[in-house]
Structure 1
């Protein structure tokens, strides 16, 4: 299996910056992956996503397999051609959406049988089918093993059983993935907030990688209600069990402070729907926290959304204008805010990369925390 070269250029404490090199282009780390749920980052053209600073986007296996159908995407030339994105794409396994969206799901050793949230049709997603969809039909550069997203909170025994099932599904995902020169597969470490389960999951996955398996490691089962502090604690006792020479990916996270704290703990890659989802609801992300453009105080505010971000959406439209668009339910308002938010998240990654390279990341984190003040989540 291909293990894309991962060059670590600088470190400060546990934080590191580098480049993950793929056949479709380099991914600068720490990296934020905008989420392309149905083959599109909602509200943005792909050239805007690229101009905002994204090196890689994420595609959702669950949504694409249901609509338009993974086989149809394959017939149209794969997800890169279908969606107009020529850079790297990472696809999730579909497991999280089955967990969170399906009307009815039944988990067995074979896989998960679920009912579509669109039309109620029944489907079976096994490790083998997930790999077929991601790697063969969508053509993802980075595929994810099928896992079970553990409920939170979860009793210890249930979390252990879930984690062990994900390990077995990981072995089957590896077998289905086989040998590929231009694609790779990431493991997903589970175990809820229990240190020994996370250690067991990580060590078992690393053993598979040592034997020629995984090209990277994801930390799953967070951002499911455990809270910021518990997330940080879980990273504290999970990341040390992952290889230093492979990328580490924290799935589904998160708010800017989550990204900063995770990078400080050695995480390299992230994805989250927050930038575009917030944009559709009038929320503008900045270093001092988010603000809601719908508020009356912005009705005659001539300032840009955020002059510090070098993006047309951030600089070329007044807060008053975007306030008007959002209050009028004009789609352009959501598009401008989504574009700004993606640009802000990518700019945050760029600033963290620079801070680590220049040996001032600790100071960057301290300043970032201070700017948030009492808004820092717990």
Structure 2
């Protein structure tokens, strides 16, 4: 791996893996969930609060930051870590997924993508080289290579040509990344739900050689069953001695299923986005705090949780501030959700280390199946 960055696998249980990615800015315990700090902030959270939930690493977004406030400005101000007051590791995505989701606002060619900003309509150009430059200016610890991610369903020819383009871009990303001690570059496997295309993609990436490998192009509308089918083989196609990162996933049961299939890292906007809309994720599943049943409920959201929302506030209060559109509602629920997600990861790491992951999984699903506590 890159100098000063290493991956150590400490335990396996079935395909599930527990280990640590060591970086110059601190260790990332795996399996790891990365809260998404799209625009240099995890919405509704102070960086020290995010750290208090147990997060080791954050994700920043190349596309959003290049548009506003610009990577050049962040660089002048001392880099992304200093700018957003986060001293732990940061992974930045390459911008490929966001550009793909612009649809009609983008134009793709062999060299890269031209697109219009969703903010002001201004025209921009993103290539593998420019993506590497932006991520260098941001100063992220883990850099993602620039890829093209087709939305599913798509026909096999479209998926194949997209994957081959992504592999050419991966080679260009590696060349443009250069030699950067203390920084890692991850390649991204593509190939949709086609096992042989994913195999070809993995082979191309191995040949180029990366510090870690992502399974890209999932969680784009294919559904959990199809995603799990793909994860039954995709992680196995990637090097065993490198971290494996599943991009953009997901709900708690998606995450548990991914870890069971050999994934080490994940990210998703869900815990923070859900928090802002009144949804709490708990061991018993999802709870909608907007529902009238909580209006007179003096009990905490989850009596076993030690986050501030559960320790200091009732369901009735959370219901009230969410319905009244008070800022603290989204803040408290976001903290709770991120705390729950990090608790989930810690539980899996401990179970894998103890060799009890199968029974841990059974208990996880059984508790969720019970549903929320009975109304008063």
TM-score interval w.r.t. the shorter chain? over 0.9
Of residues 273, 277, 287, the one that matches 1:277 is 273
Of residues 251, 269, 275, the one that matches 2:247 is 251
Please give the residue correspondences for 1:16-35 in structure 2 after superposition, counting only pairs within 5 Å. Answer: 16-35=17-36
Partners of 1:128 and 1:188 in 2: CA distance: 16
Partners of 1:374 and 1:120 in 2: CA distance: 48
Please give the residue correspondences for 1:144-159 in structure 2 after superposition, counting only pairs within 5 Å. Answer: 144-159=144-159
Match of 1:348 in 2: 344
Tell me if the contact between 1:103 and 1:115 (Cα under 8 Å) persists in the aligned partners: no
Return 363-372 or 271-280, whichever deviates more.
363-372
Match of 1:190 in 2: 190
Match of 2:321 in 1: 325
- Secondary structure, in 3 states, of the residue corresponding to 1:237? coil
Say whether 1:106 aligns with 2:102: no
Partners of 2:85 and 2:103 in 1: CA distance: 29
Instruction: Name structure 1 gaps, 5 residues minimum.
Output: none
Residues 180-227 of structure 1, C-alpha deviations (whole Å, 9 max, x = no match) = 111010000000001101111011101211xxxx10000111111000
Partners of 1:121 and 1:333 in 2: CA distance: 35
Match of 1:86 in 2: 87
Please give the residue correspondences for 1:106-185 in structure 2 after superposition, counting only pairs within 5 Å. Answer: 106-135=107-136, 137-185=137-185
Say whether 1:312 aligns with 2:313: no
Instruction: Name structure 2 gaps, 5 residues minimum.
Output: 372-376
For residues 103 and 155 of structure 1, do their structure 2 counterparts lie closer, same or farther at Cα, with a shift above 3 Å needed?
A: closer
State how many pairs are aligned.
370
Displacement of 1:9 after TM fit? 1.0
Partners of 2:248 and 2:190 in 1: CA distance: 14
- Secondary structure, in 3 states, of the residue corresponding to 1:132? helix
Displacement of 1:101 after TM fit? 3.5
Task: With the length of structure 2 as denominator, give the TM-score of the two structures.
Answer: 0.97
- Secondary structure, in 3 states, of the residue corresponding to 2:9? strand
Tell me if the contact between 1:187 and 1:218 (Cα under 8 Å) persists in the aligned partners: yes
Match of 2:374 in 1: none
- For the aligned residue pairs, the C-alpha RMSD in angstroms reads 1.2
Partners of 1:61 and 1:269 in 2: CA distance: 19
Match of 2:40 in 1: 39
Partners of 1:293 and 1:74 in 2: CA distance: 41
- Secondary structure, in 3 states, of the residue corresponding to 2:55? coil
Partners of 1:244 and 1:252 in 2: CA distance: 21
Partners of 1:263 and 1:362 in 2: CA distance: 11
Partners of 2:366 and 2:226 in 1: CA distance: 21
Residues 76-110 of structure 1, C-alpha deviations (whole Å, 9 max, x = no match) = 10000000000000000001111113651011011
- Secondary structure, in 3 states, of the residue corresponding to 1:290? strand
Match of 1:262 in 2: 258
Say whether 1:49 aligns with 2:11: no
Tell me if the contact between 2:151 and 2:221 (Cα under 8 Å) persists in the aligned partners: no
Displacement of 1:372 after TM fit? 2.9
Partners of 1:151 and 1:186 in 2: CA distance: 21
- Secondary structure, in 3 states, of the residue corresponding to 1:233? helix
Residues 154-175 of structure 1, C-alpha deviations (whole Å, 9 max, x = no match) = 1000000000000000000000
Return 322-331 or 2-11, whichever deviates more.
2-11
